[in-house]
Amino acid sequence: MAGNIVQEKGVNEYGDGVAWIRGSVIGKGGFGCVYLATLKNPRSKYSCLPPVMAVKSAEVSISGSIQKEVEILNNFKGCPNIVRCLGEETTMSDNGVMAYNLLLEYGSGGTLADRIKKSGGNGLPEFEARAYAKSILKGLNYVHSFGFVHCDLKPDNILLVPKAGRGGITEFRAKISDFGLAKKANRSKKRKLEPYWKGTPMYLSPEAVIDKVQEAPCDIWALGCIVLEMLTGKPPWHVETELKKSEEILGKIGKRNALPKIPTGISKEAKDFLKGCFVRKTAYRLTTEMLLNHAFVEGLDVDDDEDIYDD
């Protein structure tokens, strides 16, 4: 999980683990809280855990989404572009609160949203956006190959994890995180409509808004939104209107033939990549395999190095 640490009182309300100590809150969500955690004995040669981790926690009685996330992440072991699941553990606080904990690798580079924000609204250099786009694509291709749909791709859910080597295009590797809303893809010819859409309105695809259908193409649309945001420093739909409310954003996305505006000051390859993501008819939207062969990301060596953990 991300590296922006927020100090709060009562951070040990769920207790410590067998081998780790719970630290400051670094994130919150409908699932519960995410904490920074450190090993009790980081020099122990017997520990299979890194010295610093992120721990996603909730009371056992309301931890269903976190337990679901563990099951999903266990399908993706070995993919360097997806956040590592390091295990799970139940803890008990001094006042008797029992918590379910998901142990995850810590993204000391923060989130992609943090990185974009630091650009001051100018966006990232295109070479950097290309590198992160390819890393996300490789992870997303892995997710789709196992028959899952993420359903909530956005810069806040992309972690930046340091690489071991000093070379390469970027210092960090982008990794997909937060699979709490992920689902199995519907492979039947007759698609079953969801009762409601999942995810964040700004990054939803037209079919999710209009038809409540969220399959693999909806992740491609969201990827386009992420790349657009990296290149411009602003969220999708920002150029058209200063949309603030979810209802206004959903209304814009659901409008016939509406597409996010592609800026003029980017390369031809970047424009073409975005056009391949922003296709309202899902049958014509490019897939992860097609995009991995696109000129915008083709030929980039972004994952040669192993990950490292900061201590």
The two counts, helices (H) then strands (E), for the chain are 8, 9
Which member of 16, 114, 152, 219 is catalytic?
Answer: 152
Half-sphere exposure of 81 (CA within 13 A, CB side): 16
CA distance 72 to 68: 6
Nearest to 306 by CA among 144, 199, 168: 168
Return the exposure string of 92-130: e unless at least 16 CB atoms fall within 10 Å of the residue's CB, then b.
Answer: ebeeeeebbbbbbbbbbbbbbbbbbeeeeeebbebebbb
**Which distant-in-sequence residues (6+ apart) come within 8 Å of 295 by Cβ?**
269, 272, 273
Please say if 114 is a catalytic residue.
Answer: no
Q: Is 56 annotated as a binding residue?
A: yes
Residues flagged as binding site: 56
Provide the annotated active-site residues. Answer: 152
Residues flagged as binding site for ATP: 56
